[in-house]
Chain A
Amino acid sequence: MLPKATPREELLINLRAAYARMWVRLRGSNREVTGLVAEIGLPILTIGAYVILYRAIMLPPTAGAAVIIGGAMIAFWTNVLWNMSSQWFWERESGNLEMYLVAPVSRMSVLLGMAMGGSVNTSIRALGIVLLGIFVFQVPFQLADPLSVGLVFVLTLVALYTMGMLFASIFMLYGREAWNTANLLQEPVYFLSGAYFPRIYAPVVPFALQAAGSLIPMTIGLDAIRRLAINGESIATVWPHILALIACTLILFPLARRALNYMESLGKKEGRLTLRWQ
């Protein structure tokens, strides 16, 4: 029998596993230039359509700026859906899941690595989207406090990728449902998060819609970032957003951990962890 690892050794091996998973993600996603170009260029098509729609209905140019930020944040949501939530599904299909399961590390460290790699990768793409959007559509920004924007942005990503960890656990045993559910969670979330609206927390938007949207960390973070980067507001006006994002992370992380343990144990009992082509 192997000697039991000390807590320090256990922490170190899990951090190394997270780093290794992050490295694979960074390397894998950036070695293909076509993919990088497409992931920056494709959202511009949709963003462009909405910016032109705003012009067609005679809204102020700041609405276009809101759409560009929304489009950039959507890149993170897409990454969370397809590269976090559905990841165990892909791994099972390609035969890697069993290797993760027999590795002497916590599954959460693997998810953490995916989240870190995914957030770094997508940040590069989101920056590209914002810069290209500003260049093409010439929309105004009022960035008075870049540090506050950075803080809110990081908190949003942490909350969002923690939600991704929870989804990854729930999606673990999915077959084709993984693909379809990830598809299903695209447009409805774009709608609920107000990614393409000038703002979601406006009197004309029904309260029920605002409440449903607020269950998604991206909605809260997006509103705060828009206030800071477009309206030129100070951090004092977005402190409820900051608290809400921290609360989201604190609630979602333990939930993700429990869900992962439950789904793994269910998968073992039902013999579905290595089942392909469902």
Chain B
Amino acid sequence: MAVADFVKSARESFRVGWKIESNWTDPVLFATYQVIRPLASLLIVAFIVIIGASVGASANSAFYTGYLAWLIVGNAFYAFVLQIMLGMAILVHVDRTRYEVLKNIYISPGTLHPYVIGRGLVSVVNGAVSVILTLLFSVAIFNGLLHMNIPLNLLNVNLLMLIPAVILGIIGLLAIGYMLCAVNIVSNRMEFILGDSVSGTFFLLGGVIFPITSLPSQIKLISNVLPITFFLNAIRESFGITSMVTGDYMSNLAFLALTTLVALALGIGVFRLAEHRAKKLGLFDRKSEY
């Protein structure tokens, strides 16, 4: 398939996906919806730290404000994980069972690949909106409203460090999302479990709300092969947050690139296998709601 055709199909898929995700309400309500969930997640962990500081836990206030900065950035960028994993995990189920269009997409001149990529990119845009709004609201709430002097200056972000990390991270997450789509093509019981399982595992092991050094050493080994761990490390360093971040920026970026590459190879491989099996067993038009 020519690159131009691939891009065209992905663009159309993005357009359809965006309409499905956003036109159920007006744009203001949609934007509110996009920010409320990640902001509430952030407020949960922020209040845990604030309550921790208030009950006289043994560290000093600089530790807590530093921890909050670390946590705000990690939690904000975790929105990409949530959006991509949950969006892509449910995609096949919705198109196959609810709208009953997966078979039509499959027999169209394009392939499923640009379709899945296009729909995944909708999740990326949703995630980006959540990240930006969450960061802005966090600074407004904690530094503007609560005067907590959290060492987080959004104007000092090093874009040359941030952009490559974000691009690599998103590719890695899309590749994992690809695998979730593949699993859902060949199964009809996992659609509500997969996204939550993977995003929950990343939340626990990826260093989102606590440094991975707090994990038991055997479990830390798993953290060290997840792209999310290096993604968040590199992102935090681009925000000038270096405490509680393991490794330097370049090594984190290199590991992120490596793990992304592995995820990509696995994603494409697993998807092709699933596609082949689904074709053989006639699974593209299987109904699972009754």
Contacts and interface: CB of A to CB of B under 8 A. Distances in A.
Interface of A: 32, 34-35, 38, 42, 45-46, 48-50, 52-59, 93-94, 175-177, 180, 183-184, 186-188, 190-191, 196-198, 202-205, 277-278
A188 B40 contact: yes
Contacts, number: 112
- Report the interface size class on chain B: 35 or more
B232 to A, nearest CB: 13
Given A57-B59, A190-B44, A191-B40, A35 B50 contact: no
Interface of B: 20, 24-25, 33, 36-38, 40-41, 43-45, 47-55, 57-59, 64, 67, 98-99, 189-190, 193, 196-197, 200-201, 203-204, 208-211, 214-215, 289-290
Contacts of B24: 175-177, 180, 278
Contacts of A35: 189, 193
A205 B38 CA distance: 20
Nearest to B25: A177
B33 A184 contact: yes
Given A54-B48, A58-B52, A180-B33, A49 B41 contact: no
B204 A53 contact: no
Interface class of chain A by DSSP = helix
A198 B51 contact: yes
Given A59-B55, A191-B43, A34 B200 contact: no
A197 B201 contact: no
B54 A46 contact: no
18 contacts: A38-B197, A42-B197, A45-B197, A50-B209, A55-B214, A56-B214, A58-B58, A59-B52, A59-B55, A94-B289, A180-B25, A184-B36, A187-B36, A187-B41, A188-B40, A191-B40, A191-B43, A196-B48
A173 to B, nearest CB: 13
Contact of B59 (A55, A58, A176): A58
B201 to A, nearest CB: 6
Contacts of A45: 197, 200-201, 203-204
Contacts of A94: 289-290
B44 A191 contact: yes
Interface class of chain B by DSSP = helix
A53 B204 CA distance: 10
Of all A-B residue pairs in the complex, the 9 with the closest CB atoms, nearest first, are A45-B200, A187-B40, A176-B24, A204-B54, A57-B52, A188-B40, A56-B210, A58-B57, A191-B40
Contacts of A183: 37
A159 B36 CA distance: 25
Contacts of A52: 204, 210, 214-215
B155 to A, nearest CB: 28
Contacts of B33: 180, 184
Q: Which of A32, A48, A49, A57 has the most CB of B within 10 A?
A: A57
B47 A57 contact: no
B48 A53 contact: yes
B40 A46 contact: no
B193 A56 contact: no
B36 A188 contact: yes
Given A49-B209, A184-B37, A196 B25 contact: no
Contacts of B215: 52
B29 to A, nearest CB: 9
B48 A50 contact: yes
A191 B189 CA distance: 30
A46 B59 CA distance: 25
A57 B289 contact: no
Contacts of B57: 57-59
A277 to B, nearest CB: 7
Given A46-B203, A186-B37, A197 B209 contact: no
A85 to B, nearest CB: 16
Nearest to A184: B33
Contact of A42 (B48, B49, B193): B193
Contacts of B289: 93-94
B51 A197 contact: yes
A202 B52 CA distance: 11
Contacts of B201: 45
Contacts of A197: 44, 47-48, 51
Given A180-B33, A190-B40, A191-B40, A49 B208 contact: yes
Q: Which of B38, B55, B189, B289 has the most CB of A within 10 A?
A: B55
